[in-house]
Amino acid sequence: MESPFDKYKCDGSRQFILYLEPYLNTYYNSYQNIITLNAMPVGPLSNMVARLTFPKLSIFKELSPFSDNVFNCTYVVCRYPVKGGGTGSSIKYRDTFLGAEDVPNVLAFLRDNGYKVDTDMTRLIQKSDIELSDDSLRGKRRMICIVDYIQ
């Protein structure tokens, strides 16, 4: 049976969510907060996004039975264009991924490149107790905004 909500699913074709999320960089053996997305976006931002496998933040974390991300992969926003359709980003370089200090630049990039940041829905969800992540292997991610590609 097909759900009537499926046609509105946030599948990356036009709408996606930006998060700030803790990531264990195994090269430096250190944590960093990086900007992630729930789906691969369309448009110019897709050139800046790579898939990254997130290591568990704790040996005590287990995969949620409700998670559909069994390989623990996430879309991450990179500082430089990603070559080869999602390859070429390396955890060896400290400036590969964008973090909290880069949020204003990312929002400006989005607005300049045909994206609309949905501030009304973003504020509504941020003020509520809605948890948009069911991934128990990683730490708590914080929603930055909901974005629509309008071009």
Tens of pLDDT, residue by residue over 102-119, are 999 999 999 999 999 987
CB of 19 closer than 8 Å to CB of 10? no
- Asked if residue 2 is part of any domain, the answer here is no
70: pLDDT strictly greater than 50: no
- Whether 7 is in a domain gets the answer no
Its domain, for residue 67, covers 12-149
Specify whether the CB–CB gap between 38 and 147 falls below 8 A: no
Tokens 């053996």, residue?
A: 29
Provide the β-strand partners of residue 51. Answer: 75
pLDDT reported for residue 100: 94
Of 150 and 121, which is predicted with more confidence? Answer: 150
Task: Find the mean pLDDT for residues 77-99.
Answer: 77
Decide if 61 is inside a domain: yes
* Section 88-105 average pLDDT: 85
Determine the pLDDT at residue 49. Answer: 92
In the predicted model, what is the mean pLDDT of residues 71-75? Answer: 73
Cα 107 to its chain centre, rounded Å, is 14
Number of domains the chain is built from: 1
Q: What does the alpha-carbon distance between residue 12 and residue 41 come to, in Å, rounded to a whole number?
A: 5
Mean pLDDT of 7-21: 76
Domain assignment present for residue 111? The answer is yes
Asked if residue 6 is part of any domain, the answer here is no
Dihedral over alpha carbons 28, 29, 32, 35 (to 10 degrees): 80
What does DSSP assign to residue 76? Answer: E
